[in-house]
Amino acid sequence: MQTKITTNLTMLTDFYELTMANGYLRRGFGEREVCFDMFFRTVPDHGGYAIMAGVEQLIEYLKNLRFDEEDLAYLASRGCFCKEFIEYLRDFRFACDVWAIPEGTPIFPGEPIVTVRGPVIQAQFIETMLLLLINHQSLIATKAKRITRAARGSAVMEFGSRRAQGGDGAILGARAAFIGGCGATACTIADQKYGIPAVGTMAHSWVMMFDSEYEAFRAYAEEYPDNCTLLIDTYSVMHSGLPNAIRVFNEVLVPKGYRPKGIRIDSGDLAYLSRQVRAKLDEAGFPDCGIVVSNALDEFLIKDLMQQGAPINSFGVGERLITSSSAPVFGGVYKLAAVERDGVLEPKMKISENVGKITTPAFKTVWRLFDNQTGKAIADVITLFDEEIDGAKPYMLFDPEHIWKRKSVSDFTAVRLPVQLFRKGECCYTSPDIRQIQRYCTQQCDMLWDEVLRLENPHRYYVDLSQKLWDIKESLIMHSRQMEEETV
């Protein structure tokens, strides 16, 4: 199930995209062909990998890219845009080529995860929304994957809508969390729009509305006998909540032929309480009754609970997932990589005294090399777009920062990661069903070594450059140095 953007979001852009576009047009190179890349520099939470997400929403945004009369009237009223530019926008039609790494793919710093090639006005203009959509969902999908891996197969439900940063944060955050491995969401509209299973039973207010906890549990069991999960920590888990739950199970569910679905604990020492509750439920004849826990959980708390042997069947994770509160920014950037000159794309790069901000030039793509014996990913290689990597021949990998570190690999399969989304502005890609994306994400993460996937001090996954691309980058750096020396 997919949803489409019906609101015109064209004007959700940084104002300088418009001032630059106006300037490009006036200077006579608005239609000059360029290439931009989106990439990110560091993995959130000091992790070893990130998860690509948000491509479906990027596609819908680009399909709906247009300026209506209200937009044009506003821009004309600003007084800083020429009439020719306003007319250009009136006839605006997206005409770029776009490639992206598919949703659910593990991604790594420095590699182009989205590439846009086309007229500079258009390629530049879409920067804000492209970054907004990919940054947000990739952040949440990455956090969700960390959390679901920490749960070691126990179910994780996304419970964060009320803590999300706005409506889109809740809805698209639930979508991204599902891609990252969550099995369900508390967000009803995410079920309606994307088919992500919506779940939920009761809040503490339900229990408090009745004269007693027992009456509250009994009423709920009578209303929902086939899906009865009771929240047992409103007053006291062991002294009232659990005894009342077991009583209701025996008095209401069992006589009607139903079994309890579960109990939920939302406070206290979850490891201790879950063990005590499990023993009492088993003793009462309900070993099939699941234990659900919530309360400001994240991957590290879940990891601790699992290491302590807490008999928990599922986790409800809210604010720390939907906001990725420990690392709330996915630092994707969008940089110019090439500019057409005399019919040829000329590589461009940003030079900085901050080494981490030096970009990689040229129209390029990225490959993932898989070992044919283990099926595991060896490394990623960024190459010029028209380069090929032949797995039938040995290939020399080298660290682009420490070029003396080299390794020849053989008996591998090379996979070009990006897929083309748009060809001359026409969409040529159909987004998979979200369940397919989730399965693909799981499969691709399983092809990474555990050392890359671990939560703390992960092994660095190598992203290398081809020799041809490295030579271009090195020559541009040397040229920049020569220019500096000449101006001193």
For the record, the structure tokens of 83 come out as: 């009439």
Task: Look at residue 2 in the predicted model and tell me its pLDDT.
Answer: 47
Residue 338 CA to residue 340 CA, distance in Å, equals 7
Catalogue all structural domains in the chain, each as residue range(s) with its CATH number: 1-140+328-348+418-457 (3.20.140.10), 201-287 (3.20.20.70), 359-417+460-488 (no CATH)
Residues 6+ apart with CB under 8 A from 254: none
How many alpha carbons fall within 13 Å on the CB side of residue 150? Answer: 22
Task: Look at residue 122 in the predicted model and tell me its pLDDT.
Answer: 97
**Treating both helix axes as pointing N-terminal to C-terminal, what angle do 167-179 and 127-150 enclose, rounded to 10 degrees?**
50
**Treating both helix axes as pointing N-terminal to C-terminal, what angle do 299-307 and 270-283 enclose, rounded to 10 degrees?**
50
Over residues 134-172, the pLDDT tens digits come to 999 999 999 999 999 999 999 999 999 999 999 999 999
pLDDT < 70: residue spans in the chain: 1-7, 484-488
Task: Look at residue 5 in the predicted model and tell me its pLDDT.
Answer: 45
For the record, the structure tokens of 326 come out as: 């420990």
In 323-389, alpha helices (H): none
Tell me the three state secondary structure of residue 49. Answer: coil
Look-up of token digits 């807490």 = 310
pTM to 2 decimal places: 0.95
- Angle made by CA atoms 475, 477, 479, in degrees to the nearest 5: 70
The b/e string for 467-486 (b: 16+ C-beta within 10 A; e otherwise) is eebbebbeebeeeeeeeeee
Residue 44 CA to residue 51 CA, distance in Å, equals 11
Q: For every residue of 96-120, which 3-state class applies, written as one string?
A: CEEEECCCCCEECCCCCCEEEEEEH
Task: Look at residue 8 in the predicted model and tell me its pLDDT.
Answer: 80
For the record, the structure tokens of 23 come out as: 């300037």
Give all strands (DSSP E) within 33-73, no chain letters.
33-40, 50-51
Contact 225, 252 (CB under 8 A): yes
Query: How are the residues of the chain apportioned to helix, strand and coil, as percentages rounded to the nearest 5?
Result: 40, 20, 40
Residue 463 CA to residue 484 CA, distance in Å, equals 30
